[in-house]
Amino acid sequence: MKNLVITGGNSGYFEYLVPFITSIRENDKLDNTVIVVCDNTIKGKWNKPGSFKKGGSFSLEQLEFFDKNKVEVVVFSKLLKENNFSTEIFDNIKTGHWAYPAKYIYCYLIAKNYRDRVEKVAFFDADIYIQKDISKIFGLINGDQIYLNHEFSKIGDSSYMTDWIKFSKEHLMIKSLDIINIQDEFNICTGFFAGKIDVFLRDINFAVVISSNPILAFHSDQPLMNILVYVYNFPYIELGEELVHMAHIERKDTRFENNTFIVKEKIPTAIHYHGPLREWVKSIIVEDYDADNNQPSLLEKIKFRIKKSLP
């Protein structure tokens, strides 16, 4: 059976979707991967309700690219309507990012539609670049738990986590959680999660139910998964070094040779380039992209500022 890749985005995110989809197609040696893009837009801030866009956003030219690369595009509002899911819930949700809390919802609904047609499912953020056969990642997904990966940053350093804690501190259930004890744990990155189809549906459905609870206020996917893992001991399996999150990795530990990113002398199947290396990576993998390849990483900038402020 085939494997399913789900990602999300909209016309404004198309510049990331192009290299993501192209890199999968170039590294799908068995032609065994189904790709579905959920066209969705939810904007908002923690102190203001989210704004939910109904209808699609992609242009005809962009849709032609998807069609050429055998990508199914699902419009989020239509997906919700087809499943009798009221969009009114989004009018009252405070969200710090357009993707939240929609990610778990559309992942569940899309995977459900493919239940009898695929063996395994993986959600990838679109700012991920596949540079080896993607079957390597799916080949690792064999357990009966959800597969996750962590970043190289700590929970206490994550703005998604700290902003959520500030926003949620008045909620009854949040007050009882000892957040301080997990500040030094590695931040679970929900830019990737995967599992065998039945496991994926079970665990993502659970996440949808939890995230929609107004008492818990888990309206952001990273806080939800971090609390589930570190406070409630939610069972998961670490994917490992085949997918590397490049945020907080210093430039000196990464090099680009023969169209391949080498990270700490290893060649991962996929790199998640969100973070300080984003512009550098985009300049290499996006055609005609103009960027300063020598731009220092965020960590390098911080170290420079500290040295400059010392007496």
Tens digit of each residue's pLDDT (9 = 90 or more) over 211-220: 666 666 666 7
The model's pLDDT over 174-194, given as tens digits with 9 standing for 90+, comes to 655 666 678 888 889 889 999
pLDDT surpassing 70 at residue 204 = yes
| pLDDT band per the 50, 70, 90 thresholds, residue 152 | confident
CA-nearest of 220, 230, 228, 221 to 186 is 230
Averaged pLDDT of the chain: 81
pLDDT digits (tens, 9 = 90+) for 71-100: 999 999 899 899 988 776 666 665 555 445
Residues in the chain: 311
Q: What is the pTM of this model?
A: 0.86
Binning pLDDT at 50, 70 and 90, where does residue 301 land? very low
Higher-confidence residue of 193 and 16: namely: 193
The rounded distance, in Å, linking the Cα atoms of 233 and 226 is 10
Distance of alpha carbon 302 from alpha carbon 298, whole angstroms: 6
